[in-house]
Amino acid sequence: MGGRARSGSDHFGPGVGPILMASVDCTGNEESLIECRTRSCDATTCSHYNDAGVTCERNCTDGEIRLGDDAVLRGRVEVCINSIWTTICASYWTDKEATVICSQLGYSRYGAVATRGMFIDYEWPIGIYKLNCTGDEANIWNCMYHMNSNTHGLDCSRGTDASVFCMFNNTQYVNCTNGDVRLVGGDIMNEGNVQICYNNAWGSVCDNQWDTSDSNVVCYQLGLQPFGSQPFTNNYFSVSDNPSFVIGALSCSGSEESLLDCSRHTTSGASINCQSYEVAGARCIG
């Protein structure tokens, strides 16, 4: 269990020689592809640009955890149970559970963000339900959880698998309140890259969809004029050590009292795939 289908030649490149099978339809229980339903392929409908591929999964050790696709810092949480990788149902999923996961993975306990419904490939079953941590545990196995599929009242489709955004392990505790903002790297106090406090750490804001309405909210939070601000993107202020991203793809109206009040899409590709230089900034009117 755990093979991942690779369609087309993009992943491994086109093959050579005759194409012997097409429209392969297996249940997953067969011992050989020959036992699956298939049809012959003729030269007019099949080419090596459509060659099928597969990535096979290594065996895992019970109790292991990882981020899917060997991701770094942010990704779907996968847990090994009975030698099979499984996922965690995102119902009851909070920053407390994310904190334990990030720490167990070797990242910081601070700045962890609990997310859901991203990095979905549907190849793993759900293995853990109702995970409930205090946030102080050394690993998730010290938390309360269930391993049966009695999900009455829970939203446990694989489309809502639990995911995390973590911070590097050198991230230190900060005595700040969720949603606090600051400007870093500017020549004057009224400008700089935007950093937002989340789970006792400063995090960056991804600059996808970053505009004046968003930067106006930042300026309001800082006690400056809540209009006439100038938004900046692509690490405009050239800060060399920006922290990891916490949120992105913000859509503020400009009337919110905090960036956390804005519509945001932490599960969108815009915030997940932000590169390290895609950091939002602002210049406020004093």
pLDDT for res 9: 59
Confidence tier at 91 by pLDDT (50, 70, 90): confident
Model pTM?
A: 0.80
Q: Which residue has the higher pLDDT, 218 or 11?
A: 218
Over the stretch 14-48, which tens digit does the pLDDT of each residue have? 888 888 788 888 887 888 988 998 877 654 577 88
To the nearest whole number, what is the mean pLDDT of the chain? Answer: 87
pLDDT for res 70: 81
212, 283 contact by CB (below 8 A): no
**What domains lie within the chain, and their CATH numbers?**
4-55 (3.10.250.10), 65-165 (3.10.250.10), 181-283 (3.10.250.10)
